[in-house]
Structure 1
Amino acid sequence: MEVITDQRLKQTWRWLRLFMRLALIFSIFMVLFLFSIFLYAKIQGPPTLLVPQTTVFYASDGSVVGESEHGGQNRYWVPLKDISPNVIDATIAIEDKRFYDHYGFDFKRIIAAGLADIKAMSKVQGASTITQQYARNLFLEHDKTWTRKIQEALYAIRLELNYTKEEILEGYLNTIYYGHGAYGIEAAADYYFDKHAKDLTLGEAAMLAGIPKGPSYYSPKVHFERAKDRQETILDVMAATNKASGERTFKAKHERIILAKPEEDKIESLGPYFLDEVKKSLVNRLNLDQRFIEAGGLKVYTTLDPHMQKTAEKWVGRIIHEDSDIQTALTAMDPKTGEVKALVGGRDYEKSEFNRATMAKRAPGSTFKAFLYYAAIENGFTPSTPVRSEPTTFRYNDGKSEYSPHNYGNAYAYGDITLAQALALSDNIVAVKTHLFLEENTLVNTAKRFGIKSPLAKIPSLALGTKPVRMIEMTGAYSMFANGGKSVEPHYITKVVDREGNVIYEWKKEAEQVLDPDAAFVTTQMMTGVFDESLNDYARVTGSGVDHLLSRQVAGKTGSTPNDSWMIGFTPQLTASVWVGYDEGKPLNETNDGLYAKNIWAHFIEEALEGQPKKKFKPTKNVIAVNVNPDNGKLATENCPVTRKTYYIKGTEPHEYCDEHSNKQPKAAEKEKKEKKGFIDRIFDWFK
């Protein structure tokens, strides 16, 4: 018996030693395995936390005017301090009670989940921690393969080793899916409650915390009762784990939940043509990748003025008949900074995304004369310079070619008119004469100084705007009149901030003095004559018909070709351009189509600046103002029936007095004066 017992003891001891050796080897292997995993995680360093985030576009007043679109998903990143504590407590209570105690894996929960699954003979309970779920979100893959699970585990370890619990929690709350395309707590708060995450109540936070378990099943917008039951379960857990007092959870259960209305679910973008230009600028100026723009979580601060943009769209819609297939474009710009404040690239973005304000090239017509008359003033002409207006055939190219322009309606003065009057009446003959006198290259070079980059030709008809240009070029060029001759570059973005809050771009450009400020001011004053009926002669000033709509000092120029109608004008605060025409180049109907541009412009400029000071153009130091007879440009006398205050560069002002009315007999003059008086004035005179 003793021999058998000894043998059994020896055999048992051998098996025990073998087991201990295997256990030791296994332990060493596990230690080495775990050490290698931790070493790998440490060597790999912190994992990249970049996940797709919605890029948001802001207007100049800070309001949101658009968002990037990527698969119908909305993603916003907010720091943990901007997330309501109610959300944090509710999420930890239901998702990971021991979040602050484990190192990425909750082994107690894993064992409990395993036992529950064995008991039910199916997977009924999850054991993933917040860290593991965040790791899964970073992959953006939820396939149930061993490879993915291993990668997820490695990511979880890397997260725990390289980030604080607060950073992990922030990442999780910003990436978890809450249904309906909303990723992250900020997107969820906005979608379900039209709130920011920092403003969520305990009841709202608990309801949102319940959604990730089944985004469609527990969506309060689809199954409110289910969502409410889930919310109350979470509130009970919060009370049981001391995340919230019983009194608070009781109140939260009875809190009235108000969901966002359907129309608030989606931000309606303002100025779609404008936003297209913003995105182009991000690519061309900042060299950003298109995918990064769409999903980089950028904050793009734009120059768009919502009031002006709405005003522009309003008047385009009101002035042009709905059933017309004519097209239009409008740009408005701050002349001092070059900030584009409003932009309409067509009548309907959904029908045509082609931006006629920035992409189309159209003949500017007589709006090009502004550059010509600036060049004339700079080269010794004055507003009083007389030029003969009559049908004329011009010979050029060493006499080999002829050009015979015509005035609108074939109306002419058949005599001399002043340069100021020629601009206001848009006399083509005077323009071409002036152009050829200065030589063709002068206008080409002057237009380039104004920032016109489109190709131009040294031909007589250039004075009449026959070479196509872009509207945005013309708006920038006219802004140089308004700002006193300084360079200006149209732009759409003031600042871009990345998802971490770093400013990666900010508009900074110093303006340079490009034009002669005195000549620019004198030309500006000449352009105010477009709306001044005192300059009427053989025709009415081209701004007539809308001058009564204007309550502030403006300067500008109309322009027309058989296929295009333009109005470009400015105040000291704003430059605006309007073009009207057909995409196919169909001729305009002069009776109706030709009036659209002026009317849109006048209504827009008035309403856009509503409430702003009615500023006047400030004279430069080297100019002088005198009263002249607008018919001949000579100094006005008391006998002149019409006078106009006109500015000149000092030394070029007229010194000769008007003598056309000096022979009037006093009685005749008095009679004329009486005839001009109104009925009420004459009654008062009778009683004197």
Structure 2
Amino acid sequence: MEVIPLQRFKRAGKYVRAFLILATLGIILLFIMLLSLLIYAKILGPPPLAVPESTLYYSESGTVIGETNNGQKRYWVSIDSISPELVNATVAVEDRQFYTHKGFDVKRIGGAIIADLKARAKVQGASTITQQYARNLFLDHDKTWKRKWNEALYTIRLEMNYSKEEILEGYLNTIYYGHGAYGAEAASQYYFGKTAKELTLAEASILAGIPKGPSSYSPIVNLEKAKTRQNIVLHSMVQKNYISEAKRKQALQAPLSLKGEHTIVTNKIAPYFQDAVKQTLQKELGIDERTIELGGLRVYTTLDEKQQALAEEAFEKIITKSSNIQGALVAMKPKTGEVTALVGGRDYQQSPFNRATQALRQPGSTIKPLLYYAALENGFTPSTTLMSEKTTFKFDEGQSSYSPSNYNHQYADSEITLAQAIALSDNIYAVKTHLFLGQKVLRDTAKRFGLTSKMEVVPSLALGTSGARIIEMVNAYSLFANGGKKVKPVFITRVENHQGDVLFQYKKENEQVLDPDQTFVMTQMLTGVFDETLNGYTKVTGSTISKQLTRVYAGKSGSTSTDSWMIGYTPQLVTGVWTGYDQAKKIENPAEKGYAKKIWATFMEASLKDKPVKYFKETSNVVGLHIDPKSGKIASERCSNSRLTYFVKGTEPEEYCPEHFKGDAPKEQQPAKKPWYKWILKPWG
């Protein structure tokens, strides 16, 4: 009778030993797997923390003027820029053991399993802040074993490589708060119209309760539910000793001022300018489009908000609403090339095509200063005279001809000076100069001035018949305004990533590409466009706006049958305006022909109103003489008209105006006699 129980006992002992062996093997295997996981996680290293985040654009003054729009509002801020109340509220309600666990709360997991078994459904979550952060960063929200495995792996990698503060900062910047707001900063701006750092306890406890169910606990959607959830958050904070019971009651009763709109950027300022900034980021800095849209960049631009507003106002004020004509404006600082204002069209919503940076339009007579600069380099002076008369030019060994005409077919029918030819915009003088220099000279000179569009080597090139971009023409005039130093259009001064690391910093160039003396002489001649002492067979081209101007400007207008231009500058600012029809329709309305000049004058006067008056500083190797505009020779006291004109030393005229002067030159203006040896050496050059 005793044998049977003994056998049963022996059999049970075998089962126990087998269980213990299997359990030990299982523990060892689990340990090996866990160890392997840790080693694998260590080998993989820290996971990247990049998340989709709005890129912000800043003006010259540091004001946010725009942001990328992908349906999500994200603004990464450091944990120091988040209210401590929100930090504590989040830890209290989401993960009380956050600062002590290693990514997983075993006790909480066990409690969740028991609760789920009792309810026979999933009723309690056990994810820690680290797990939620891993899920938000790298994973979808599918409930699969593969996703859970990857979540665990990312959680371990986060805990192994980042501090608790870095993990918490990342979590608070990526969690979804509803209404398209991701992260504490975007949520604070949306719900309360303030930064995350400014949140009160009442506001912070409301926000901390939203992530559990944004569609249910949003105070915008359901304030009652949001307040109920707020009470749970505040109780959790009391239990964690973050706040007292008295503060809980006080926060619960505090009134809430809800905003309900994204306030970082309410209106897109200077949309054409921002498009140009994006193009610069892509083409010049090599930043891909996804990074621009979702990389959380901080792009600091050159935009002057005041000037931009004045530019847009000038278009609205001067161009009648009934007109369908288009226009563009570019304003730059000539010393640096920084673009301070840009208008690419009359209505961005109707047409986002950027006429300031993309359109190729005939520049007309605004190309002439580039031609005449080349002429100065090749022996011309402001007093060089050529015949202004109706002319047919023969070229290609007489096989081809070209018959340009002046505006309204008016001619001097006599010789005029270069200074007067510029002021009156004489086309015959320009074509003669172009052919004299050689037709390739203007093309090559334009390249030196930064023009990149292809130019046809033809006689009419002197009259601006080859297309050019508005922004490049304005940049070309910047070289005149800054004394001949190389510049290029600058839209961006600095680019930072979401962590504040500088990706790009603008550095000013200082390369001298033009002769400073000839550049000053050219600028001084361009001031004559507004000086009616240079009136001749017609009025100077700037006479229609000269009375509106209160300081010295240099500039040049230009017109073709389809395009109207005005480009001008002071030492502080250069601005170009173009008006015309997109389909190159002929401009027939007389009022429309004057739009460019009026917009330019209105904008320049308003932009420089509170700025000091600055004059173009003459260089050391130039000399100024009062010149008779008609003859180009030194004016005497008897001349009824004279203008102070500058020449590079050694090129100034020595003769006095023969029409008004009789006798010897006054001693104070009599040219110095040349040394005797110059007369001997003259035949040999």
In which range does the TM-score fall when normalised by the shorter chain? over 0.9
Distance in 1 between the 2:250 and 2:529 partners? 69
Q: Deviations over 1:582-618 (max 9, x none)?
A: 1111100251111110011111112222322211111
Say if 2:139 and 2:151, in contact at 8 Å, map to a contact too. no
Task: Tell me the matched-pair count.
Answer: 662
**1:263: Cα distance to partner?**
7.2
- Structure 1 letter corresponding to 2:21: R
- Deviates further, 308-317 or 438-447: 438-447
Partner residue, 1:139: 138
Which is worse superposed, 92-101 or 510-519? 510-519
Matched residues in 1 for 2:260 and 2:611: separation? 35
Residue in 1 that maps onto 2:216: 217
State the distance in 1 between where 2:643 and 2:344 align: 38
Give 2:121's aligned residue. 122
Return the offset for 1:4.
Answer: 5.0
Instruction: Report the more deviating stretch, 517-526 or 321-330.
Output: 321-330
Name the counterpart of 1:299.
298
Equivalent-residue separation in structure 1 for 2:511 and 2:87 (angstroms)? 53
Q: 1:513: how far off? A: 1.1
Partner Cα distance (1:262, 1:179) in 2: 12
Q: CA deviation at 1:542?
A: 0.9
Between the aligned partners of 1:295 and 1:517, the Cα distance in structure 2 is 46
1:57 aligns with 2:57: yes
User: Residues 21-68 of structure 1, C-alpha deviation per residue, up to 9 Å, x if partnerless?
Assistant: 232222222222222222222222222222212221222211112212
Cα separation, 1, equivalents of 2:515 and 2:348: 40
Find the counterpart in structure 1 of residue 365 from structure 2.
366
- C-alpha distance in structure 2 between counterparts of 1:215 and 1:484, whole Å: 60
Name stretches of at least 5 consecutive residues in structure 1 with no aligned partner.
Answer: 664-688
The answer as to 2:278 corresponding to 1:279 is yes
Aligned match of 2:491: 492
The farther-off stretch of 30-39 and 522-531 is 30-39
What is the Cα deviation at residue 409 of structure 1?
0.9
Match of 2:665 in 1: none
Measured after TM superposition, the shift of residue 661 of structure 1 is 4.7
CA contact (8 A) 1:65 1:267 kept: no
* Corresponding residue SS for 1:93: helix
Gaps of 5+ in 2: 663-685
How many Å separate the matches in 2 of 1:412 and 1:261?
68
Taking structure 2 as the reference length, what is the TM-score of the superposition?
0.93
Match runs of 1:100-115 below 5 Å: 100-115=99-114
Cα distance in structure 2, aligned partners of 1:410 and 1:393? 14
1:509, distance to aligned residue in structure 2 (A): 4.9
Equivalences for residues 159-198 of structure 1 within 5 A: 159-198=158-197
Give the corresponding residue for 1:548: 547
Determine the structure 2 residue equivalent to 1:17. 17
What is the match of residue 41 of structure 1? 41
Aligned residues: CA RMSD = 1.9
1:570 aligns with 2:556: no
Question: Matched residue of 1:417: which SS?
Answer: strand
Provide Cα deviations, 1:322-372, integer angstroms capped at 9, x if missing partner. Answer: 232211111111111111222111112222222111211111100011112
1:324 aligns with 2:327: no
Using the TM superposition, name which of 104-113 and 592-601 deviates more: 104-113
Question: What CA deviation, in whole Å up to 9, does each residue of 1:504-546 have, x standing for no partner?
Answer: 2222352311111111111101111111122122211111121
Partners of 1:6 and 1:378 lie apart in 2 by 121
- Secondary structure of the corresponding residue to residue 264 of structure 1: coil
Q: Does the aligned pair in 1 maintain the 2:191–2:261 contact within 8 Å?
A: no
1:8/1:439 CA distance change after superposition, 3 Å = closer
Distance 1:621 1:438 in 2: 28
Question: d(CA) in 2 for partners of 1:74 and 1:262?
Answer: 11
- CA–CA separation in structure 2 for the residues paired with 1:575 and 1:533: 22
Distance in 1 between the 2:17 and 2:253 partners? 65
Paired residues for 1:122-521 under 5 Å: 122-260=121-259, 262=261, 264=263, 266-521=265-520
Match of 2:679 in 1: none
- Note closer, same or farther for the CA distance 1:330–1:545 as it changes in structure 2 (3 Å cut): same
Letter of the 2:514 counterpart: L
Determine the C-alpha separation between the residues in 2 that align with 1:224 and 1:660.
92
Shift of 1:654: 2.8
Q: Structure 1 residues 220-229 or 582-591, which shifts more?
A: 220-229
Q: Which runs of 4+ in 1 moved over 6 A?
A: none
SS state at 1:473 partner: helix
Structure 1 distance, partners of 2:610, 2:114, is 72
Kept in 2: contact 1:366–1:464 (CA 8 A): yes
Q: Distance in 2 between matches of 1:334 and 1:380?
A: 31
CA shift digits 1:285-336 (9 cap, x unpaired):
2222211221112112222222222221221222112232211111111111
Counterpart-to-counterpart distance in 2, 1:33 and 1:460: 83
Task: Give 1:267 shift.
Answer: 3.6
How far apart are the structure 2 equivalents of 1:64 and 1:263? 13
- The residue identity in structure 1 corresponding to 2:622 is V
Between stretches 325-334 and 561-570, larger displacement belongs to: 325-334
Question: SS state of the match for residue 420, structure 1?
Answer: helix
Secondary structure of the equivalent of 1:36? Answer: helix
Alignment match, 1:595: 594
Per-residue deviation, residues 622-664 of structure 1 (Å, max 9, x unmatched): 111222233333333333333322211122223333354569x
1:426-475: CA deviation from partner (whole Å, max 9, x where unpaired): 11112122222223232222222212222223322111111111112111
Amino acid at match of 1:320: I
How far the C-alpha of 1:261 sits from its partner, in A, is: 5.8
When normalised by structure 1's length, the TM-score is 0.92
Q: Could you tell me how far 1:253 is from its partner in structure 2?
A: 2.5
For residues 346 and 203 of structure 2, the distance between their equivalents in structure 1, rounded to whole angstroms, comes to 42
Q: Distance in 2 between matches of 1:65 and 1:108?
A: 49
Distance in 1 between residues matched to 2:158 and 2:528, nearest whole Å: 71
Secondary structure of 1:592's counterpart equals helix
- Pairwise CA distance, 1:13: 3.0
Per the alignment, in what secondary structure is the counterpart of residue 257 of structure 2?
A: coil
Q: Which amino acid aligns with 2:558?
A: G
Q: Secondary structure at the match of 2:189?
A: helix
Larger mean Cα displacement after TM superposition, 240-249 or 527-536: 240-249
How far apart are residue 488 of structure 1 and its match? 1.1
Partner of 2:580: 581
Identical columns (%):
57
User: Structure 1 pair 173/529, CA: closer, same or farther in 2 (3 Å)?
Assistant: same
Distance, in Å, in 1 between the alignment partners of 2:658 and 2:246 is: 96
Distance 1:460 1:195 in 2: 63
Distance, in Å, in 2 between the alignment partners of 1:296 and 1:199 is 25
Say whether the 8 Å CA contact 2:190–2:262 is kept in structure 1: no
User: 1-side partners of 2:223 and 2:611: how far apart?
Assistant: 49
Letter of the 1:67 partner, please give it: E
Asked whether the equivalents of residues 628 and 642 of structure 2 are also in contact (C-alpha less than 8 Å), the reply is: yes
Show the counterpart of 2:28.
Answer: 28
The C-alpha deviation readout for 1:64-112, integer Å capped at 9, x for no partner, is 1221222x01222222222221111010011001111111111222222
Shift of 1:142: 1.1
Please say if residues 190 and 260 of structure 2, whose CA atoms lie closer than 8 Å, have aligned partners that are also in contact: no
* Distance in structure 2 (CA, Å) of the matches to 1:584 and 1:244: 69
Is the 8 Å Cα contact of residues 113 and 125 (structure 1) preserved in structure 2?
Answer: yes
Distance 1:255 1:611, change over 3 A: farther
Supply the distance in 1 between the matched residues of 2:514 and 2:238 (Cα, whole angstroms): 74
Q: Secondary structure at the match of 1:301?
A: strand
Amino acid in the other structure paired with 2:588: N
- Aligned partner of residue 625 in structure 2, secondary structure: strand
> What is the deviation of 1:567?
0.5
**Which stretch shifts more, 593-602 or 4-13?**
4-13
Q: How many angstroms apart in 2 are the aligned matches of 1:6 and 1:196?
A: 78
Distance 1:593 1:359 in 2: 22
Give the Cα–Cα distance (whole angstroms) in 2 for the partners of residues 478 and 127 of structure 1. 67
Rounded Cα–Cα distance in structure 2 between residues aligned with 1:458 and 1:248: 81
Structure 1 window deviating more from structure 2 (642-651 vs 485-494): it is 642-651
Quote the Cα distance in structure 1 between the aligned partners of 2:205 and 2:631. Answer: 82
